[in-house]
């Protein structure tokens, strides 16, 4: 690496402030100009891994097939809350083809969550792991699961966070059902005084459902031991996290664990953590002396590997007649599931709009259900739905246009830390989005018009971090034939990381994309990179790629100076050729430089620079929805979504469009159809397959228009990139809800906004 220093680094990752000591470059590169002036970055370049995926040659974790590989399955609890009294695996072990069975009885105690273990004798939710079986085939393993005899003491359970908060509720953990023991609280100004000064006040309660990630590719691990060295192929968003989890669980050094993930069929946050299934696969591989593959089925995916928590949010807002917000309060609770996970949803409420008097109190609650896990903008989707629904309602009380109301309360600085943003173009996003959707055509009074079908236009506001930060490293290798390898400790979730990494390297070195190969997702060969979640991948990795490429360019300039017997300051690099400024006839092509060097490979390692101190890095945006409501059936049809966003520099317009389309489709699912349903009498999940758990289909897709109002954020990094994974999802449900309100004059306060809820609201309003 070039000249570096160590700093204390802070950046947001999925609503948590991450702090670490990171090595960063001392010398900074001049930020790039606008995208139009760049040759490769920002262009609509096809995915470099597109052929592999469309031809079927791409290897996903499930496709790993090793010699003598065994197949594993997990016995999961059918009880929501119980204590194991005895377990007998004799019949399962004696079944022909069964190779190994592991339970809490025959493996060391492996600490997992809080006061629980890998296999615990106390069961806290339907689907919790009880035993693991390896067999010659998956079918034999499944048959063996049914032969395990278990005697349990069934315990009282609770699957509703509101009930779980009561003193009389069954205790899921010894410390009680409130995660951390206390609520999160925040206050600025004086809420009571602010509400007294309001001319208009609204007080409403909104609720959102639990939704499940359900990526196309299920969670899967393949584990193989070679002596004391373990290789794990894992469908993960965080190869280094998985390495750490496996190392600690098995009590072996991290350098004995190699985690590989080349291709992946989606994750959305569910694959950010190391899973029990990975450790179970490794234990079974050790016990059998054979490679083991463990793949979860769709039912397991809906029970045990994460979800977006639900929420109940009681909001009280006050404003002056001119639209000035005077006070805002937010009381909320949501379920963590059986183990600790965040259910907070108040960040947008605290910081999107300028308001001097704000009060927040929110609880995360244990219930007897599968644990929560980050899901594409955790907290923000729930919080934005409630907040922006309330904003529209309050604007209506004072007969003010909702967009005008938002502009009236536009926050120029971060409201929580009272510091400036590195950049903010939300105003421009409002203007561009409103123009594209035809905001002036919306109903001036919600619900006006007659007839069965009513149309309306609504909007929602987006704020998310997405700034990334160090530590993130990239190694670049230039071969003698001027082909390039770029090695990054990142993962491609299907979002196009392979492609933008190659684009950045190509932009700097001016080498054709086809001569650049990218290696990701292998802890055995790549330098460290952050988990791929929280919209941090591109803003963390792209600056490190550029740094490594710029260092390589400088090496080539130095080598050319020696070859041409010229001074470095007389040289210029363009189109892969180094030339003399004073005598352009003196030049040498990149491959010729490499031919003169004895080293067959030149290597550089780049790093992500430090984030600027005293500034908040955020993405901003607004989404506008045009909907049609069938007042006879209650069905809502989304006709068009306009997404106008400030997300820094665009690395690849095609990839950006893909991300926005995917996020918007997920937002439609959250708004109108997706929901995990648990039977309160039995504690059993009723929606464990893709027939009962309704996902959006191609027929549910509206027209989508994406507008980017930013050209880059030069303060944050040498590429000026912010992440886009989360922003596309966040405001979609709020925009749809407000469009329904504009169409019908009735506000639906609970997601999913299914036909029955729409009809009920319409009947109550008639």
Mean pLDDT confidence for 282-304? 98
pLDDT in tens, 242-268: 999 999 999 999 999 999 999 999 999
Straight-line distance from the first to the last Cα atom of the chain, in angstroms, rounded to the nearest whole number: 70
Residue 468 above 70 pLDDT? Answer: yes
pLDDT in the model for residue 15: 57
**What is the DSSP annotation of 215-266?**
-SSPPEEEEEEETTEEEEEE--S-HHHHHHHHHHHHT--GGGEEEE----S-
Task: Provide the pLDDT for residue 27.
Answer: 80
156-212+306-411: CATH architecture:
2-Layer Sandwich (3.30)
Is residue 591 predicted with pLDDT exceeding 90? Answer: no
Whether 290 has a pLDDT exceeding 90, the answer reads yes
Residue 599: is its pLDDT beyond 90?
no
**What are the structure tokens assigned to 371, written together?**
């644990």
Least reliable range by pLDDT among 5-14, 64-73, 667-676: 5-14
List beta partners, residue 293. 71, 222
pLDDT at 740: 98
Between CA 354 and CA 394 the distance in angstroms is 15
Neighbours of 756 (CB within 10 A): 9
Give the chain's length.
766
Helix (H, G, I), strand (E, B) or coil at 468: coil
Percent of the chain's residues with pLDDT above 70: 98
**pLDDT value, residue 200:** 98
Is the model more confident about 3 or about 380? 380
- DSSP label at 37? G
Look at residue 12 in the predicted model and tell me its pLDDT: 63
Average pLDDT over residues 594-603: 88
Q: What are phi and psi of 549, to 5 degrees?
A: -70, -40
Do the strands 16-25 and 4-13 form a parallel or antiparallel pair, or are they unpaired? Answer: antiparallel
In the predicted structure, residue 14 carries a pLDDT above the cut 60: no
Q: Per-residue pLDDT averaged across 495-506, rounded? A: 97
Q: How far from 14 is each of 35, 376, 655, CA to CA, in Å?
A: 28, 9, 22
Pick from 27-31, 497-501, 552-556, 685-689: least confident:
27-31
Does the structure show a pLDDT above 90 at 3? no
Stretch 338-356: mean pLDDT = 95
pTM check: above 0.85: yes
From the candidate CATH numbers 3.40.50.2300, 3.50.30.30, 3.30.70.2660, 3.30.365.10, the one assigned to the domain spanning 4-61+468-607: 3.30.365.10
What local confidence, expressed as pLDDT, does residue 6 receive?
81
Mean pLDDT of 308-324: 98
- For residue 4, give both structure tokens: 């570096």
CA distances from 366 to 155, 178, 310 (A): 15, 6, 12
Give the pLDDT band (50/70/90) at residue 21: confident
Is the pLDDT at 24 greater than 90, yes or no?
no
Convert the pLDDT of each residue in 76-110 to its tens digit.
999 999 999 999 999 999 999 999 999 999 998 99
Class at the top of the CATH hierarchy for domain 422-466+617-766: alpha beta
CB 521 within 8 A of CB 260: yes
What CA–CA distance (Å, rounded) separates 264 from 23?
29
Q: Could you say which architecture CATH assigns to the domain 64-155+216-266+271-304?
A: 2-Layer Sandwich (3.30)
Distance (Å, rounded) from C-alpha 112 to C-alpha 114? Answer: 7
Looking at residue 133, its pLDDT comes to: 98
Which residues, in sequence order, are bridge partners of residue 24? Answer: 5
pLDDT digits (tens, 9 = 90+) for 682-712: 999 999 999 999 999 999 999 999 999 999 9
Q: What is the pLDDT of residues 180-234, one digit of tens each?
A: 999 999 999 999 999 999 999 999 999 999 999 999 999 999 999 999 999 999 9
13 has a pLDDT exceeding 80: no
Mean per-residue pLDDT for 425-440? Answer: 98
**pLDDT of amino acid 17:** 66
* pLDDT tier for residue 450 given thresholds of 50, 70 and 90: confident
* pLDDT tens for each residue of 117-150: 999 999 999 999 999 999 999 999 999 999 999 9
pLDDT of residue 494: 92
- Average pLDDT estimate for 417-422: 96
Residue 470 has pLDDT above 70, yes or no: yes
Continuous segment of H or E residues that includes residue 551: helix 537-564
| pLDDT averaged over every residue in the chain | 95
Q: If DSSP states are collapsed to H, E and C, what string results for 643-705? A: EEEECECCCEHHHHHHHHHHHHHHHHHHHHCCCCCECCCCCCECCCCCCCCCCCCHHHCCEEE
pLDDT band per the 50, 70, 90 thresholds, residue 16: low
Delimiting residues of CATH 3.30.365.10 domain(s) in the chain: 4-61+468-607, 64-155+216-266+271-304, 156-212+306-411, 422-466+617-766
Predicted pLDDT at 328: 98
- Rounded Cα distance between 330 and 313, Å, is 7
Tokens of 495: 């979002």
């Amino acid at each position: 690496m070039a000249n570096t220093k160590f700093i204390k680094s802070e950046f947001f990752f999925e609503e948590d402030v991450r702090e670490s000591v990171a090595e960063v470059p001392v010398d900074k590169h001049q930020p790039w100009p606008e995208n139009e002036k760049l040759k490769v970055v920002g262009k609509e370049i096809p995915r470099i891994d597109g052929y592999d995926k469309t031809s079927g040659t791409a290897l996903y974790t499930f496709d790993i097939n090793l010699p003598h590989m065994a197949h594993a399955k997990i016995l999961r609890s059918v009880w929501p809350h119980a204590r194991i009294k005895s377990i007998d695996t004799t019949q399962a072990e004696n079944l022909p083809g069964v190779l190994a069975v592991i339970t809490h009885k025959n493996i060391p105690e492996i600490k997992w969550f809080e006061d629980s273990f890998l296999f615990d004798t106390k069961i806290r939710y339907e689907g919790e792991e009880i035993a693991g079986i390896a067999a010659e085939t998956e079918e034999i393993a499944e048959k063996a699961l049914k032969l395990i005899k278990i005697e349990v003491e069934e315990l009282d359970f609770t699957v509703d966070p509101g009930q779980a908060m009561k003193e009389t509720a069954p205790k899921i953990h010894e410390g009680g059902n409130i995660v951390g023991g206390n609520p999160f609280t925040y206050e600025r100004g004086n809420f009571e005084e602010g509400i007294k000064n309001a001319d208009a006040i609204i007080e409403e309660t909104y609720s959102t459902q639990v939704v499940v990630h359900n990526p196309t590719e299920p969670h899967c691990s393949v584990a193989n031991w070679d002596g004391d060295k373990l290789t794990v192929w894992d469908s993960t968003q965080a190869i280094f996290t998985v390495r750490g989890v496996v190392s600690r669980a098995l009590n072996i050094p991290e350098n004995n664990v190699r985690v590989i993930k080349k291709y992946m069929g989606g994750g959305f946050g569910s694959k950010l953590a190391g899973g029990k299934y990975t450790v179970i696969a490794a234990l079974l591989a050790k016990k059998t002396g054979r490679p083991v593959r463990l793949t979860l089925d769709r039912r397991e995916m809906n029970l045990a590997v994460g979800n977006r928590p639900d929420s109940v949010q009681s909001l009280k807002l006050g404003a002056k007649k001119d639209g000035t917000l005077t006070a805002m309060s937010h009381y909320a609770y949501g379920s963590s599931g059986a183990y600790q996970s965040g259910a907070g949803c108040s960040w947008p409420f605290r910081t999107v709009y300028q308001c001097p008097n704000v009060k927040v109190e929110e609880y995360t609650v244990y219930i007897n259900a599968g644990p929560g896990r980050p899901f594409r903008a955790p907290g923000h989707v729930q919080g934005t739905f409630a907040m922006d629904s309330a904003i529209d309602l309050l604007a209506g009380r004072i007969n003010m246009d909702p967009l005008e109301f938002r502009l009236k309360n536009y926050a120029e600085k971060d409201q929580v830390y009272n510091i400036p943003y590195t950049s903010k173009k939300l105003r421009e996003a409002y203007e561009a989005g409103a123009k594209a959707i035809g905001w002036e055509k919306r109903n001036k009074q919600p619900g006006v018009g007659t007839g069965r079908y009513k149309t309306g236009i609504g909007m929602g506001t987006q704020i998310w971090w997405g700034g990334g930060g160090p530590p993130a490293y990239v190694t670049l290798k230039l071969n003698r034939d001027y082909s390039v390898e770029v090695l990054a400790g990142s993962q491609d979730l299907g979002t196009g990381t392979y492609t933008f990494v190659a684009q950045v390297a190509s932009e700097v070195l001016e080498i054709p994309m086809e001569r650049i190969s990218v290696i990701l997702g292998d802890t055995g060969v790549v330098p460290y990179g952050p988990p791929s979640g929280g919209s941090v991948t591109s803003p963390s990795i792209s600056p490190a790629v550029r740094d490594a490429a710029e260092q390589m360019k400088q090496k080539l300039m130095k080598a050319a100076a020696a070859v041409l017997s010229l001074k470095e300051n007389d040289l210029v690099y363009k189109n892969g050729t180094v030339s003399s400024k004073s005598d352009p006839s003196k030049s040498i092509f990149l491959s010729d430089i490499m031919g003169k060097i004895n080293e067959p490979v030149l290597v550089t390692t780049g790093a992500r620079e430090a984030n600027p101190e005293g500034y908040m890095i955020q993405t901003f945006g607004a989404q506008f929805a045009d909907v049609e409501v069938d007042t006879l059936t209650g069905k809502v049809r989304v006709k068009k979504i306009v997404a106008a966003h400030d997300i820094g520099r665009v690395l690849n317009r095609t990839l950006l469009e893909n991300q926005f389309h995917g996020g918007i489709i997920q937002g439609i699912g959250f708004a109108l159809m997706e929901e995990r349903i648990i039977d309160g009498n039995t504690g059993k999940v009723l929606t464990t397959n893709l027939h009962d758990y309704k996902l959006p289909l191609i027929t549910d897709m509206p027209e989508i228009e994406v507008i980017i109002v930013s050209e880059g954020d030069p303060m944050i990094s040498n590429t000026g990139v912010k992440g886009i994974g989360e922003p596309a999802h966040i405001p979609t449900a709020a925009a749809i809800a407000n469009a329904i309100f504009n169409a019908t004059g009735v506000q639906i306060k609970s997601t999913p906004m299914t036909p029955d809820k729409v009809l009920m609201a319409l009947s109550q309003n008639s």
